[in-house]
Each structure stands twice: as C-alpha cells, then as structure tokens.
Amino acid sequence: MKAVIQRVKEASVTVDGKQVSRIERGLLTLLGVAKGDDEAKLAKLVAKICELRIFEDDQGKMNLSLKDVGGAHLIVSQFTLLGDCSAGRRPSFVGAEAPERARQLYEKALALSEQQGVPTQGGVFQADMKVALVNDGPVTLVLEA
C-alpha cells in the first residue's frame, strides 16, 4: 500500500465536469492498493495519516495533526502509484490489487478516516478524475505500509 499525502489549503475532485468532492484546509491522500494488502495494514496507515504532526503550531513548528487542527481529508484512489517503471518505458501495474478488492479497501479507508473523527470525502473509484489542489507549504509525504 502506498499513499502520497499533501497538506492542502483546499482540494477538489471533478468527474465529467461536475465537482464530486471538495475540502478546505486538510490533507489530500492519493491511495494505491497493492496485491496482498489487508484491512489491518490499511487501518494502521489511515490512523497514521490522521495523526501525522505536519501542521504548524503557534511557533511555526510542524507539531499538530489533522485531528488537532480540525482539518478535512480527501482520499483519492490511484492505482498508478503501484506502477513499476524499473524496466522498459511503459509502467507495469502487476503489483496493483484487482479492482474489486481495491475498491473494498478504498471504501474502507474512507470509513476509517471518518471513524478517526475527521470529516472525509472521496473521489470516484475507477473514474477519470480531475484533482485540483492548493498545496500548503508545500508539504508532500510518501508513506508505504
């Protein structure tokens, strides 16, 4: 499982010209599910994301979490994070989970984030999404579970 987390001032997802989700201050997570990933691994990753201290406190230090600042979470499924570009010029996606299982874990990620007490929105699984964001900092981290 791989996640790219971006601290944002705002972020949104549009599908077929219609905005389907939007958040203000918070985190945008691009989530890639690999073959063999399970709910225990996912729960640990989502909890870590919600508790990462990457928001600034009154002294300008990254000391506060998404939960501490009352931010929102936008999670977007992105299988291309599992692309292997080590050979040739075309990425191989053999390490990505099958769509049905990936959908189940993606939907579980949304629920787990909400259970952390974080207002959470998502993209549309397997849709051609347009993701817009204003990166805050910029702060971008890659997590692997």
Catalytic site positions: 78-80
- Within 1-145, residue ranges assigned H as helices are 39-51, 66-69, 99-115
- Cα 79 to chain centroid distance, Å, stands at 12
Query: Containing H/E element for 120?
Result: strand 120-122
Q: How far apart are CA 96 and CA 82, in angstroms?
A: 6
Q: How far apart are CA 69 and CA 89, in angstroms?
A: 42
| DSSP assigned state of 33 | P
Does the CA dihedral 86-91-92-96 come out positive or negative?
positive
Assign 3-state DSSP to the chain and report helix, strand, coil percentages, each to 5: 25, 40, 30
